[in-house]
Amino acid sequence: MHGIEEFSAIINPPQATILAIGAIHRYPVETAAGGVAFIDRITATLSCDHRIVDGVLGAELLGHFKSLIENPFRMLV
């Protein structure tokens, strides 16, 4: 994604939503044992036309997207 961490995509009619995905970056996080581990993280931004899709529906869509990305095997079942 050309090193862009996050951005907002512009909706073009007749689209109702558009999903923007940023680049993958490694971040340090604290583990339960007090150590440090590194995780890969991406940013996903959903732009919605609120005349068609309200914020609750958009948040649900992002939640489902997150669960599928975190567990890709679910896409096959």
Q: What is the pLDDT of residues 35-61, one digit of tens each?
A: 999 999 999 999 999 999 998 999 999
CA angle 64, 47, 49 (to 5 degrees): 110
The C-alpha atoms of residue 21 and residue 9 are separated, in whole angstroms, by 9
Q: Is 50 a catalytic residue?
A: yes
Q: pLDDT band at residue 13, thresholds of 50, 70 and 90?
A: confident
- Reported as a pLDDT band with limits 50, 70 and 90, residue 6 is confident
Q: Which one is catalytic: 2, 25, 50, 64?
A: 50
Instruction: Evaluate whether residue 39 is within a structural domain.
Output: yes
Residue 11 covered by a domain: no
Q: Classify residue 10: in a domain, yes or no.
A: no
The domain in which residue 57 lies consists of 17-75
Report d(CA 28, CA 38) in Å as an integer. Answer: 4
> CA angle 5-17-57, nearest 5°?
100
Paired residues of 19 in beta bridges: 46
Number of domains in the chain: 1
Phi, psi for 72 (deg, rounded to 5): -65, -15
Look at residue 5 and tell me if it is in a domain: no
